[in-house]
A and B are shown apart, each in its own frame.
Chain A
Amino acid sequence: MSKMRNKIQSQKFILVGITIVLLFTGCMINGQFLRPANVANILITASLLGFVASGQTLVVLSGNDGLDLSVGGVMSLGAVVAYIIMDGSDGKLLKAFFIVLFVGAVVGLFNAVGVVFAEIPALVMTLAVSNALTSVQQLITGGNPTGAPSPAASRIATSKVAAFLPWLTVIWIALTFAMYLLLTRSTYGKRLYAVGSNERAAVLSGIQSGRIRIYTYMICGVLSAFAGFWLCAYNEVIYVNAGASYVMPSVAAVVIGGTSIAGGRGSYMGTAAGTVILTVISSLLVMMDTNEAGKYMMNGVILLVLLVIYTRHPKIRQ
């Protein structure tokens, strides 16, 4: 047990170390890198990714090869729905917000039906749902969304508390705290870890593992939709599948953060650190004028290296 704790501790130091090295590299390449405006931009992108990655963390923790590839689809759908309903008026802000969260919960429930009841591999089910969500978006928008975020929402999403601290990041910090409480202090959190690390033992000690899984997918859906709402508020203009680029980083952030892909071990703090690292890397790549192809390749290589470092299984003969 102490060995494992040591491993997690050292992992935290590695994460902090990587972040510092990255920031330093950024300064070396371009002196403007740590300007407050740039830091604020990085933090806003990190916050949006952080919302998505929080749901992903829960799903991965639930074990049984849990993975939600529909987060991008739910995020895009949430953004499109918020965009259409708000239609530039403050009066519809709350209505839009709650409808978006409800939509996220419904998609999460749908995922859960496939994964928990029909026992389709989570990856396959969520990928299929993700494809279906693309058609749903095209259907409700006719391929070209019209609308606008409400001014109040976009003011919150784009304004800053201090020169380098955007309001979105304050929301993210609050969410991080909430996730911390949820995972360490609540019954749900304890049960989630139990189900993730050993489902049979959890069931034998009276936990309804299916129910916990269903909740997990629904919470993940709600959090992704929440991210979609803020994506809409921040971006002003929304297109179909605007959130698709968040799927792969959300998985990467969870893996970098040290959450075991087999489930039952890990924390949201790690994911948050992973989120920051990924965002800094991608902003470095933007700064170095990497084109789209280079960005994909870099992301792939980074994830591969991290996977080889973090997620190795023991040898068969052990």
Chain B
Amino acid sequence: MKWLEGKLGYVLLAGALVINICLQGIGFFTADSIGALFGSNLPLLLAALAQTVIMAAGGIDISIGNTIALANGIIIVCLNAYGMSFSGSSLAAIAAGTGVGLVNGIIIACFRVPPLLVTFAMSTFIKGLALMILPKPGGNVPTEVYRTYGGTIFMIPTALVILIVVVVFLVLAGRFRITNHMTAIGSNERNAYVSGVRVELVKVTAYAAGGAIAALSGVCLTALTATGDVRNGESFALQSIAAVIIGGMLGSGKWKNYILGAVSGALFLAVINNIVFYAFSYVSVNYPEMQISTYYQQLFSNFIIIFGLMSAALAERRNRRRGR
């Protein structure tokens, strides 16, 4: 079982995929089904990538959920109230996300306040800001935007293309010096400082990059939902952290493992939602006399997240006990 160590995220994902394929049958492999899986979960995948960049540098960001919501609100307002193009408003949203990350990073790195509390407070502030920008849900995006997002490029679902581009870019970014410095800080801040890493600068960069990726996730969320609602971003915060932990790569100290771990953890959560959905629709189609409330679905996925977290944390602890 030694080869399994540190690969719990992949194992969980593979198990979940097998169950999903069993439930859904051969229909799982159609382009539509895979496109829908990636399309509806791309915001979560990108949120997990944003979180993993920050967690690689030893931080944590709870404000990611509301940054996504803020990006959503900014795009909708830019499109509908100021008549900007979609790409222009997306750039504005990404700039805003980077700004949020910069503020987070500066307060955390330069004033040395615990990241948890800073991003918690920022999260509240951003929620207010997003509500001020877009007080009521509504607005719309051009038809071609969500058509393109839900469609395919060269037979490959657009969402999958975006994901691959981002992941390849992030993995290649592992060759930069600054990502090495991030993982060094994540492993041991003091040692990194003593070896001459400019801790403040690197941390601020990590949070700014995380904020930018989170805003990109907000762009995808806008293209997916085709409307603006700043109240439903908060759940991304927990899910992104959970995805990184379930990915099980936090102890590895390798940049590439962080990225791939986050992707597999987020995909695990996505597939679990798929499974729960298919399981419940299977029951309601075949046993119509059983009345199952949809609330059971949510409760069920919540508990699976908790158990995923527990198994990942337990596996990591076992590795640590062995002196790894």
**A and B pair up:** yes
Contacts of A292 in B (CB 8 A): 128, 131
Question: Which of chain A's residues 263-318 have a Cβ closer than 8 Å to chain B?
Answer: 292-301, 303-304, 307-308, 311-317
Which residues of chain B (137-175) have a CB below 8 Å from chain A? none
Give the residue of B107, B131, B310 whose beta carbon is less than 8 angstroms from that of A114: B310
For residue A56, give the distance in angstroms from its CB to the closest CB of chain B.
13
The proximity string for B residues 162-194 relative to A, scoring 1 for CB distances below 8 Å and 0 otherwise, is: 000000000000000000000000000110010
Is the C-beta of B309 less than 8 angstroms from some C-beta in chain A?
yes
Check if B117 sits within 8 Å of A296, measured CB to CB. Answer: no
8 Å CB interface, B108-154 against A: 111-114, 116-118, 120-129, 131-132, 135
Q: Is the interface of A mostly helix, strand, loop or mixed?
A: helix
Number of A-B contacts (CB under 8 A): 138
Could you say which of B116, B118, B193, B235 contacts A131, with CB atoms under 8 Å apart?
Answer: B235
Given contacts A119-B317, A135-B299, contact A300 B116 (CB under 8 A): no
Enumerate chain B interface residues (CB-CB to A < 8 A): 60, 62, 107, 111-114, 116-118, 120-129, 131-132, 135, 189-190, 193, 199, 235, 237-238, 241-242, 245, 293, 295-296, 298-299, 302-303, 305-306, 309-310, 313-314, 316-317
With beta carbons under 8 angstroms apart, the residue of A132, A136, A296, A308 that contacts B124 is A296
What is the size category of the interface that chain A forms with chain B? 35 or more
Identify the interface centre among A248, A251, A293: most chain B CB within 10 Å of its CB.
A293
The 8 tightest CB contacts between A and B, nearest first, are A300-B125, A296-B128, A297-B128, A293-B131, A303-B121, A300-B124, A135-B299, A132-B302
Tell me whether A261 is interfacial, beta carbon within 8 Å. yes
CB-CB under 8 A for A139 and B299, given A296-B125, A303-B121, A303-B124: yes
Q: Is the interface of B mostly helix, strand, loop or mixed?
A: helix
Decide: A124 and B124 in contact? CB cutoff 8 A.
Answer: no
Contacts from A to B (Cβ < 8 Å): 65, 67, 114, 118-121, 123-125, 127-129, 131-132, 134-136, 138-139, 142-143, 248, 251, 255, 261, 292-301, 303-304, 307-308, 311-317
Could you tell me if B238 and A136 are in contact, using CB atoms closer than 8 angstroms? no
A294 contacts B128, CB within 8 Å?
A: yes
Residue among B113, B116, B193 making CB contact with A123, cutoff 8 Å: B116
Known pairs A120-B309, A132-B299, A307-B118; A316 contacts B189 (CB<8 A): yes
